[in-house]
Amino acid sequence: MLGLIGKKLGQTRVHDADGNVVSVTVVQAGPNHVLQVKTPARDGYSAVQLGFDAQKEQRLSKPLAGHLKKNGGAIVKRLREFRDFAVDVKPGDVVGPALFEIGDFVDAIGITKGRGFQGVVKRHGFGGGPSSHGSKGWHRRPGAIGCRTWPGWIRPGMTMPGHMGQVRRTVQNLEIMRVDETDQLLLIKGAIPGAPGDYVIIRESKKVPKPLAQKRRAEREAERQAALEAQAKAKEKGKGKARGRK
């Protein structure tokens, strides 16, 4: 499975092949340094360890710095393993957005924005109490939570106020709209968890892998060509009727 470590830069809009405006998230997805290649014979499983975002060696622990120097020499901030990497690489190689193509589908993994301590209206979408008729401060309160004689305790998982956000989330089946190898950027359709500057994982979609994405892309292009041909025939037919009237 292909994958990259990246950094979310922000959002913008681009035009697709049909001229429609599409909202995209800009992700800096390179350079990713290959630090280690694990094999079933030596490690018991197949994986590739990638590193992203350079930093000073003095900020690393001695064991981690030794590991990085042994396997490629790049001093990086983030490390991540990707199992069953679909491309043959070796320690010291550099990979980037070129692993993906326009029209591929990916899963984006990130940490959501932290919202702090929030009440039930914002955290769980409660409707709140009435705004009149003697509410007396119950506009945004949760109401009864059910701890009476039976069962005598609050049931686990009760929707109550608490810390919101800052959790790991995965958004699946996002389409890649642009691949910029010069600036190491991926433009991905839709939203990705996290704030600008947060690290994200971009991996090949589990539900729509590359072969299926290529098949969908070919079908979509065939439909587009058929629509253009039908439009051209209709236009020619209209011109013919206009000549007949003259």
Task: Give the pLDDT confidence score for residue 135 in this predicted structure.
Answer: 75
> Can you tell me the distance from the alpha carbon of 14 to that of 30, in angstroms, rounded to the nearest whole number?
21
Q: Does position 164 have pLDDT exceeding 70, yes or no? A: yes
Q: Does position 246 have pLDDT exceeding 60, yes or no? A: no
For 140-151, what is the mean pLDDT?
A: 81
pLDDT digits (tens, 9 = 90+) for 171-195: 999 999 999 999 999 999 999 999 9
Task: Give the pLDDT confidence score for residue 178 in this predicted structure.
Answer: 92
For 211-235, what is the mean pLDDT?
A: 79
Task: Give the pLDDT confidence score for residue 242 in this predicted structure.
Answer: 62
For 197-220, what is the mean pLDDT?
A: 84
Per residue, the 3-state secondary structure of 82-103, as one string, reads: EECCCCCCCCCCEECHHHCCCC
Task: Give the pLDDT confidence score for residue 123 in this predicted structure.
Answer: 95
DSSP 3-state of 182: coil
Task: Give the pLDDT confidence score for residue 214 in this predicted structure.
Answer: 75
140 φψ region: left (φ > 0), alpha (ψ -120 to 50), beta (else): alpha
Task: Give the pLDDT confidence score for residue 216 in this predicted structure.
Answer: 74
pLDDT band at 150 (very low <50, low <70, confident <90, very high): confident
Task: Give the pLDDT confidence score for residue 245 in this predicted structure.
Answer: 61
Q: Does position 163 have pLDDT exceeding 90, yes or no? A: yes
pLDDT above 90 as % of the chain: 50
- Check if the beta carbon of residue 49 is closer than 8 Å to that of residue 34: yes
Identify the DSSP state of 58. Answer: G
pTM of this prediction? 0.79
Q: Does position 114 have pLDDT exceeding 70, yes or no? A: yes
pLDDT digits (tens, 9 = 90+) for 60-96: 899 988 888 887 678 899 999 999 898 898 888 899 9
**Per-domain boundaries in the chain:** 117-130+139-164
> Can you tell me the distance from the alpha carbon of 115 to that of 122, in angstroms, rounded to the nearest whole number?
10
Task: Give the pLDDT confidence score for residue 153 in this predicted structure.
Answer: 85
Task: Give the pLDDT confidence score for residue 240 in this predicted structure.
Answer: 66
Task: Give the pLDDT confidence score for residue 69 in this predicted structure.
Answer: 84
Q: Does position 133 have pLDDT exceeding 90, yes or no? A: no
For 45-67, what is the mean pLDDT?
A: 90
CA distances from 129 to 70, 124, 133, 134, 146 (A): 62, 14, 10, 10, 17
Task: Give the pLDDT confidence score for residue 79 in this predicted structure.
Answer: 92
